[in-house]
Amino acid sequence: MSTPGVRSLSASTLSGLLILGVTGCGTADARQGDGSDKKITVYSGRSESLVKPVLEDFQEASGITVEVRYGDTAQMAAQLQEEGGRSPADAFLAQDAGALGAVAERGLFARLPDEVLDKAAAAYRDDGGEWVGVTGRVRTMVYNVDQVPRADLPGSVFELTEPKWKGKVGIAPTNGSFQAFVTAMRVEYGDARTEEFLTGLKANDAQIREGNAPIVADVDAGRLASGLVNHYYVYELAKEEGTGVDDLEARNHFFPNGDIGSLVNVSGVGVLEKAGDDPDVRAFVDYLLGTGAQTYFAEQTYEYPLVAGIATAPGLPSLSSLNSPDIDLNDLDDLETTVEMINDSGLV
């Protein structure tokens, strides 16, 4: 990221603090723009390495300068809530639907035009039209091919509380994706069944990890037989190790028949109220849902494109074939009870 802001700021830190401050104020003042000023500010809860190439392509193609602020999705949602109507942000690119829902709930997003919303399937956008999905990610079970015979793979995530999986399942209970999955389970099956599942996992000696990546790494290294993660982590591991995804010991297993274990969640984008009519912001959203960006996500981050007609990464089943459970993603913004239940189960 080599925006003018970064360059001038570093130069000035070397030349003196006073100028540094002036530059700082300069960036602060420059954000009061409206109409087409060829400049937009994006808050990105998605990590820099994933979205930076897309944003650079967009800048090049449109001539619109993108000021990006990277951060943790949830903390950025909190920041947007705190900033309210005076936020410098024009658009919020979030890692998951829950964060978008939380911002939308405060009435901070502008309603997106129908032609934008219609690009994504109904399941992957806000019913009120305040945000739209950009990419999809699927919960999967990652397993070590040497330790788990294909025939033993479960048909449902609920089977993981059975004795034969004792001590063999890794989970990341503090991770947002896991939380979203548990929330979805509550929506679909009710709190009692979910609680039973969580305590069952605990009783079955589920292996706790800090995040998805460590689970996949441990499964690949044979330290763990299996784990519940998002589908793209095996691809990232393959990339980091410089091998093909089929050369890993770790493989994805998608729960069949619309099982809640293979919930589809989305990353998405919302436009802040004040930028609702900004053509530059609209161009940005259109770009994210356009062929170029969607192809990039499919090929480089191994996520599911949510716009029709774009091919998924090799080896992934199609979204429609997953027959994923019918959950309103907006319902996933109430994670409070989920967190409480996970805490109560003793998994944390």
Partner 1 sequence: MLAVGVALIPLAYLATRAGEAGWDRMADELFTARTGELVVRSVALATVVTAACTALGVTLAFLVTRSDLPGRRLLGVLAALPLAVPSYVAAFAWVSTLQGDAGVGSFAGFWAAALVLTLVSYPYVYLPVAAALVGSDPAQEEVARSLGRGPWRTAVGVTLRQVRPAVAAGALLVALYVLSDFGAVSILRVDVFTRAIFTAISLGFDRTGALVLSTVLVALTALVLLAEQFSRRRAARYARLGGGAARPPGRVRLGRLRWPAVLGVAGVLGAALGVPAVSLLRWFGEGVSRPGSLGELADAAANSLGVALLGTGLTMMLALPVGLLSARAPGLLAMALDRLAYLSHALPGLVIGLSLVFFGINVAYPLYQSVWLLALAYAALFLPLAVAAVSAAVAQAPPGLEEVARSLGRRRAHVLRTVTVPLAAPGIGAGAALVFLTCMKELPATLLLRPTGMDTLATGLWTRTSVAAYAAAAPYAALLVLIAAVPTWWLSARTGVLTRTGG
- The site for partner 1 (CB under 8 A) is made up of 1-3, 5-7, 9-10, 12-14, 17, 20-21, 23-25, 27-29, 41, 47-50, 67-72, 74-75, 77-79, 81-84, 86-88, 98-99, 101-102, 174, 176, 179, 207-210, 213-214, 218, 223, 236, 240-242, 333, 335-336, 338-340, 343, 348
What are the residues whose beta carbons fall under 8 Å from the beta carbon of 52, sequence distance 6 or more?
Answer: 1, 68
Residue with tokens 């003042």: 29
Question: Helix or strand or coil: residue 125?
Answer: strand
Residue 21 Cβ vs partner 1, minimum distance, rounded to whole Å: 6
Q: Are 259 and 156 in contact (CB under 8 A)?
A: yes
Q: Whose Cβ is closer to partner 1: residue 88's or residue 279's?
A: 88
Neighbours of 142 (CB within 10 A): 28
Residue 320 Cβ vs partner 1, minimum distance, rounded to whole Å: 29
Q: Whose Cβ is closer to partner 1: residue 39's or residue 317's?
A: 39
Q: Whose Cβ is closer to partner 1: residue 123's or residue 213's?
A: 213
For 239-260, the three-class secondary structure string (H helix, E strand, C coil) is HHHCCCHHHCCEEEECCCCCCH
Q: Are 235 and 140 in contact (CB under 8 A)?
A: no
Residue 124 Cβ vs partner 1, minimum distance, rounded to whole Å: 20
Residue with tokens 């709930």: 105
Q: Whose Cβ is closer to partner 1: residue 154's or residue 178's?
A: 178
- Residue 289 tokens read as 């849902």
Residue 40 Cβ vs partner 1, minimum distance, rounded to whole Å: 11
Residue 342 Cβ vs partner 1, minimum distance, rounded to whole Å: 9
Task: Report the alpha-carbon angle 80-83-87, nearest 5.
Answer: 85
Q: Whose Cβ is closer to partner 1: residue 84's or residue 315's?
A: 84
Residues 234, 218: Cα–Cα separation, whole Å: 11
Q: Are 159 and 165 in contact (CB under 8 A)?
A: yes
Phi, psi of 269 (to 5 degrees): -135, 140
Residue 175 Cβ vs partner 1, minimum distance, rounded to whole Å: 9
Residue 325 Cβ vs partner 1, minimum distance, rounded to whole Å: 21
Residues 220, 226: Cα–Cα separation, whole Å: 9
Q: Whose Cβ is closer to partner 1: residue 55's or residue 310's?
A: 55
Phi-psi region of 103 (alpha: psi -120 to 50; beta: other; left: phi over 0): alpha
One-character DSSP codes across 196-223: HHHHHHHHTTPEE-SSHHHHHHHHHTTS
Nearest to 58 by CA among 283, 306, 309: 283
Q: Whose Cβ is closer to partner 1: residue 174's or residue 323's?
A: 174
Residue 103 Cβ vs partner 1, minimum distance, rounded to whole Å: 8
Residue 270 Cβ vs partner 1, minimum distance, rounded to whole Å: 14
Q: Whose Cβ is closer to partner 1: residue 77's or residue 141's?
A: 77
Residues 265, 58: Cα–Cα separation, whole Å: 25
Q: Whose Cβ is closer to partner 1: residue 76's or residue 289's?
A: 76
What are the residues whose beta carbons fall under 8 Å from the beta carbon of 242, sequence distance 6 or more?
Answer: none
